[in-house]
């Protein structure tokens, strides 16, 4: 049933029983969580909280697997703002694609099209949800400091809704989060890529291999501007966990991996992990899934 609703984006009259059930669920939910938007904190008004418009339907797992409509958690404005922007992202590097090639999901930027000035990334594609600004920036920052995993479920749902087509085309076998620097994790006490990756894995119905990649040395903050300096900064910072009990390395062979990070700036970190996964893990393909494309001068730095 859920799949059918997701496909059509509408609820039918014949589905009255489900609507009645949904009202009960929502009422119960409202007792626990007041209806303010999880991203902007504005109150969600009754009519829009009901959802039902095309693209708005979708449920988010909260409260121990209990699912409520996304529209009851995020206001209509934030849902709209977090969807893919009018400008298309380059599939190779995540820059803004140029018009001549802006054919949906296969679009390229002018650098990748001419193969000049384009970084040779080890990953096969990068799929940001939006620019690092406005609602998406607020979401990324919230994720870094919110302990409640509901927000990660919301972010995963928004991502899934907006990038459904590329996810289906890529056909990932497993989801792998970019590991955080332990010092940053300690200070923030939230590992947002981890939370986001496991929520996205649930949406996709594939396993999340959270411990496959580990950080073997802390990296200083990426303050350098140029790509080479950023790449050198993360070189050798990661390792693949040698799976004795669970065979982590063997299970990577020939797999298609969705590498998840909350934000993507130069691509140096994702590139380092992707080359590790390919060289040492023998994976077939890596697609980087990220909420925000930062570093394009359209938003403030992370
Ligand atoms: Zn909002
Ligand atoms: Zn590009």
pLDDT band at 61 (very low <50, low <70, confident <90, very high): low
Q: Distances in Å between the alpha carbon of 153 and those of 134, 247, 292, 299?
A: 20, 28, 16, 24
Q: Do 14 and 68 belong to one domain?
A: yes
Is residue 214 within 8 Å of 179, Cβ to Cβ?
A: yes
Q: Say how many domains are in the chain.
A: 2
Q: Which ligand is nearest to the CA of 88?
A: 2
Convert the pLDDT of each residue in 128-161 to its tens digit: 999 999 999 999 998 888 777 888 889 999 999 8
Convert the pLDDT of each residue in 76-108 to its tens digit: 999 988 877 777 899 999 998 887 777 778 899
Q: Which protein residues have their CB within 5 A of the ion that is ligand 1?
A: 37, 39-40, 75, 78
CA of 281 to the centre of ligand 2 (A): 26
**Range from 2-6, 224-228, 230-234 that averages highest in pLDDT:** 230-234
Establish how many alpha carbons lie within 13 A of residue 5's alpha carbon, considering only the half-sphere containing its beta carbon.
17
Convert the pLDDT of each residue in 158-173 to its tens digit: 999 899 999 999 999 9
Pick from 165, 15, 173: nearest CA to 84:
165
Gap between the Cα atoms of 277 and 282, Å rounded = 6
Q: What is the pLDDT of residue 103?
A: 74
Q: What is the pLDDT of residue 274?
A: 97
CA of 99 to the centre of ligand 2 (A): 13
CA of 111 to the centre of ligand 2 (A): 6
Q: Do 62 and 157 belong to one domain?
A: no
**Range from 187-191, 219-223, 231-235, 282-286 that averages highest in pLDDT:** 282-286
Global pTM?
0.81
Q: Which range of residues forms the domain containing residue 153?
A: 119-293
Q: Do 216 and 288 belong to one domain?
A: yes
> Domain boundary at 57, 82, 107, which?
82
Q: Residue 279 burial by CB count (10 A; 0-12/13-18/19+): exposed, middle or buried?
A: exposed
CA of 81 to the centre of ligand 1 (A): 9
Is residue 101 in a domain? no
Q: Do 264 and 131 belong to one domain?
A: yes
């Amino acid at each position: 049933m859920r799949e059918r609703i997701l496909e059509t984006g509408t609820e039918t009259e014949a589905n009255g029983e489900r609507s009645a059930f949904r009202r009960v669920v929502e009422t119960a939910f409202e007792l626990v969580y007041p209806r303010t938007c999880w991203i902007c904190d504005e109150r969600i008004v009754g009519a829009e909280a009901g959802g039902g418009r095309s693209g708005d339907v979708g449920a988010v797992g909260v409260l121990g697997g209990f699912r409520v409509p996304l529209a009851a958690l995020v206001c209509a404005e934030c849902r709209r703002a977090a969807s893919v922007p009018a400008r298309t992202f380059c599939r190779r590097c995540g820059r803004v694609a140029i018009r001549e090639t802006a054919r949906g999901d296969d679009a390229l930027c002018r650098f990748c099209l001419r193969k000049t000035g384009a970084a040779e990334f080890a990953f096969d594609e990068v799929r940001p949800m939006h620019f690092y600004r406005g609602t998406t920036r607020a979401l990324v920052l919230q994720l870094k400091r919110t302990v409640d995993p509901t927000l990660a479920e919301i972010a995963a749902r928004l991502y899934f809704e907006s990038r459904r087509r590329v996810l289906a085309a890529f056909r990932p076998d497993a989801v792998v989060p970019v590991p955080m620097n332990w010092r940053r994790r300690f200070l923030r006490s939230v590992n947002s890529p981890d939370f986001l990756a496991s929520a996205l894995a649930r949406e996709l119905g594939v396993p999340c291999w959270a411990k496959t990649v580990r950080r073997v040395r802390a990296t200083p903050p990426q303050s350098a501007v140029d790509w080479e300096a950023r790449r050198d900064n993360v070189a050798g910072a990661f390792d693949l966990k040698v799976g004795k009990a669970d065979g982590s390395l063997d299970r990577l062979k020939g797999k298609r991996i969705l590498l998840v990070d909350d934000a993507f700036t130069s691509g140096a970190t994702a590139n380092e992990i992707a080359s590790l996964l390919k060289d040492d893990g023998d994976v077939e393909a890596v697609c980087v899934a990220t909420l925000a494309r930062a570093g394009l001068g359209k938003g403030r730095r992370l």
